[in-house]
């Protein structure tokens, strides 16, 4: 009986586990992570007008990151200023942009393949 009871509680523990796959640091364009069993793909950086590293800017600028969740498009930004947001609510979870590298410097990045995205899911 103890064996069956232990097995029952172990099964409940497994069912209660969060089904989110922790996004790896430094996602490359085309890589995916999971939120509530939905695959989220880092599709592209649509626009990057962040202040270059060798320039003193009045405003830090913004980069727009496009994520794809099936046929849904999600956008997060590199700043919370000017009406932009570094986070988005998706299926009762918050996806928050931590970093987008490289930062613009001397014409960098050259292509979509250069970008690395770090997000958290809470």
**pLDDT at position 3, please?**
55
Tell me the backbone φ, ψ of residue 45, rounded to 5 degrees: -100, 110
**pLDDT at position 80, please?**
96
Give the domain ranges of the chain: 20-121
Q: Which residue has the tokens 């570094």?
A: 86
**Residue count of the chain:** 122
**pLDDT at position 105, please?**
85
Q: Note the pTM of the prediction, 2 decimals.
A: 0.79
**pLDDT at position 13, please?**
42
- Confidence band of 16 (pLDDT split at 50, 70, 90): very low
Tell me the per-residue pLDDT of 38-86, one tens digit each, with 9 for 90 and over.
999 999 999 999 998 888 888 899 999 999 999 999 999 999 998 999 9
Count how many Cα atoms sit within 13 Å of the Cα of residue 98 in the half-sphere of its side chain: 12
Helices (H), the chain: 2-16
Tell me the per-residue pLDDT of 100-114, one tens digit each, with 9 for 90 and over.
999 888 777 779 999
């Amino acid at each position: 009986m103890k064996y069956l009871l232990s097995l029952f509680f172990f099964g409940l523990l497994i069912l209660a586990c969060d089904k989110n796959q922790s996004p790896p640091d430094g996602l490359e364009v085309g890589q995916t992570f999971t939120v509530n069993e939905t695959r989220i793909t880092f599709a592209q950086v649509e626009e990057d007008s962040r202040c270059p590293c060798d320039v003193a800017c009045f405003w830090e600028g913004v980069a727009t990151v496009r994520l794809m969740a099936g046929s849904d498009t999600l956008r997060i930004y590199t700043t919370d200023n000017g009406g932009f947001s570094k986070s988005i609510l998706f299926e009762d979870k918050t996806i928050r942009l931590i970093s987008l590298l490289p930062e613009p410097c001397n014409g960098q990045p050259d292509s979509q393949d250069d970008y690395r995205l770090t997000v958290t899911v809470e």
